[in-house]
Amino acid sequence: MIEATKTLSHRQQEALDRATSSASSIEQAISLLKAAGYRVTKPKPKAKDRVGPTFVACFADGQVTRMSTFTSLTSLDRGRGIRLSLASYESRMKQAPPAIIEAHFEQDGVQQ
């Protein structure tokens, strides 16, 4: 076993003494680390490794919008995809959108 040597301040030593006198082994370890000046934090949650379905809309003037949608994979919400695509077109082009001539959902590059 390797021992690390570090000079503790009086306050850190008191915290260490309190921690070792009345705590479980994991609590003692955490208190020991905190007393030594280390930050102890909870692990961060992992990011999702999968993205939701993407709604692809092709407009009559040739513009294409690709909108990620928060919807169930079993019941795709086409109306939500259309509304998001229309709003995106209006925001991007600063004019009323033409008709959508083709639309579909994709998941990981595969048309659904």
Q: How many whole angstroms separate alpha carbon 63 and alpha carbon 54?
A: 16
pLDDT in tens, 37-51: 887 777 777 766 667
The answer on pLDDT for 52 being more than 70 is: yes
**Contact yes or no for 103/79 (Cβ under 8 A):** no
Q: How many whole angstroms separate alpha carbon 13 and alpha carbon 39?
A: 17
Residue with the larger pLDDT of the pair 79 and 111: 79
Q: How far is CA 3 from CA 6, 20, 32, 91, 108, in A?
A: 10, 17, 13, 62, 50
- Residue ranges of the domains in the chain? 7-41, 54-111
Instruction: Return mean pLDDT, the chain.
Output: 82
